[in-house]
Chain A
């Protein structure tokens, strides 16, 4: 069965500091991996996706993520956070051919301090 673990429930960083959100997955085949962001009262916005190819993927809003098969990880990074990045971030696996179901992690809430 597929699963996603986001070990950090809540992270606080200073504005301008770098950010790394952790994600570990379990999947029987080559995974499709995603990061989504959710602001209060909103739906989920797709930040980036990994299907195949280059293991470092670029997304919107200056985010990037690196797929590491050996570690079953897909960590999200940003070199310098902005106050507007405060939100909840979800890692997800699935959504590939024949398995459109997305399995989400429990999310990481990001707080930005001035």
Chain B
């Protein structure tokens, strides 16, 4: 089986712009979670989707949003980008509740 695929791998944006990141989960996995990784804050949970419904949300501002499609693919959007949004954004998928999460290689977002 192919692993979790995230696109693009690298992205450079400027302050005030918006960005959309994409995640294709492992085939058959219905749960998709997003995490932000920074040197200062470490790995932080953004949100989790299951069957197109957001079930859990972390402590991030409303500028961070996401959605999941009927084929389980997920997108994450960040609006009005700030310098502090520079990070590695990781997507993880699992078969469902209680199953381990498998991560993609991430999208490295740099804000200038």
Q: Is the CB of A101 within 8 A of B33?
A: yes
CB distance from A20 to the nearest CB of B (A): 21
A101 touches B97 (CB 8 A): no
**Distance between Cα atoms of A45 and B4 in the complex (Å):** 11
Q: In whole angstroms, how far apart are the Cα atoms of A50 and B1 in the complex? A: 23
User: Are B98 and A104 in contact (CB-based, < 8 A)?
Assistant: no
A95 with B56: in contact, given A42-B105, A44-B90, A90-B43 (CB under 8 Å)?
Answer: no
User: Is chain A's interface secondary structure helix, strand, loop, or mixed overall?
Assistant: strand
A24-35 near B? 1/0 per residue, CB < 8 Å: 000000001010
Cβ 8 A contact of A43, one of B50, B56, B104: B104
CB within 8 Å for A100 and B105 given contacts A90-B43, A95-B98: no
Residue of B nearest to A39 (CB): B105
Chain B interface main SS type: strand
| A113 at the B interface (CB under 8 A) | no
Q: Which residues of A contact B (CB under 8 A)?
A: 32, 34, 36, 41-46, 49, 51, 90, 95-107
Cβ of A32 to closest chain B Cβ, rounded Å: 7
Least CB distance from A8 to B in Å reads 15
Cβ of B100 under 8 Å from chain A = yes
Give the chain B neighbours of A41 by CB distance below 8 A: 105
* Interfacial chain B residues near A43, Cβ < 8 Å: 4, 6, 90, 103-106
Could you tell me if B103 and A99 are in contact, using CB atoms closer than 8 angstroms? Answer: no
CB contacts (< 8 Å) of B42 on chain A: these are 104-107
Q: Are B48 and A100 in contact (CB under 8 A)?
A: yes
Q: Could you list 23 examples of A-B contacts with CB < 8 Å?
A: A34-B100, A36-B103, A42-B106, A43-B4, A43-B104, A43-B105, A43-B106, A44-B103, A46-B101, A46-B102, A95-B99, A99-B56, A100-B48, A100-B56, A100-B97, A101-B58, A102-B35, A102-B92, A103-B45, A104-B43, A106-B42, A107-B42, A107-B43
